[in-house]
Amino acid sequence: MQVTFTKAGPKRYTVAIEREHGPALVPRFAPGYDDLMPHDLAHYLVEEYFEIELGVWGQLASGGGGIFAPAPEDNSLRYQRRAARIGAIGREDMQRSEHLVVTTVAAWERTVGRTKHRDFSHGAEVAPDTLRGAVQRMGEVAGRWRALHLGGSIAFVWPKELTFDAAKSRRGRRRRSLEPARG
C-alpha cells in the first residue's frame, strides 16, 4: 500500500491511498493539520515504527476502512462486513496506536521546544531507547514535511510484513457449529 500526504493549501492536507486489498479508497482532506506534524502522518510513522499490524494504516492495507471510504458503488455489504471484521480484530492495536501516538508526539514536541500535546502516558510503556528512535524518525519526516511547498507530497509504502491477510485468516470469523441442523 502506498500512502501519499500532500500539502493541499494553507492549513489543509490530503491523504491518498493505493492499496492491494479491498476497493480503492477516495482521497480525502484529513483532519488535524499541523505545520510541523499532521495527525495522520504522526499515526503512520508511529504505527510503522512500532510495527502495529492493525492500527489505522494496517487496517487500510488489509482491506479495512476506518476513517477512509471507497466510492459509493464499491461500498458493498461484503466490503462493509470485511471492514467490520478487520476493525474488531484490530481493536487492541488501535488502542495501542493511540497511546503510542500521544506518547511519541509529546516526546518529539519537547525536542522542538513545543508543548502543544502533553503526554499523560496513556498506558503506553515504551523503552527509552525505542522512544528515542521513534522521536528521531518523526523529526526526520517533520523536516521533510516543513520543506514542502503547497502541492508537494511525501509518500510512504506500508511494509508488507505488517499487512494482515484477512482472506487467509480465521481470526474474527464466526465459528460454525459442528452439529447438523435440526429440521
Going by pLDDT thresholds of 50, 70 and 90, the confidence category of residue 55 is very high
**Residue 30 backbone phi and psi in degrees, to 5:** -105, 150
Q: Which residue has the higher pLDDT, 172 or 33?
A: 33
pLDDT in tens, 113-130: 887 656 555 556 889 999
pLDDT in tens, 58-69: 999 999 987 888
Does pLDDT of 149 surpass 50? Answer: yes
Separation of alpha carbons 49 and 33, rounded Å:
21
pLDDT in tens, 8-50: 988 999 999 999 988 989 888 888 889 999 999 999 999 999 9
Of the CA atoms within 13 Å of residue 42, those in its CB half-sphere come to 25
Q: What is the domain partition of the chain in residue ranges? A: 2-163
Separation of alpha carbons 141 and 41, rounded Å:
9
And the C-alpha cell for 47? 504505527
Task: For the chain, give the mean pLDDT.
Answer: 88
Percentage of residues of the chain with pLDDT beyond 90? 63
Residue 177 has a pLDDT of 47
Report yes or no: 89 and 53 within 8 Å, Cβ to Cβ.
Answer: no
Residue 166 has a pLDDT of 74
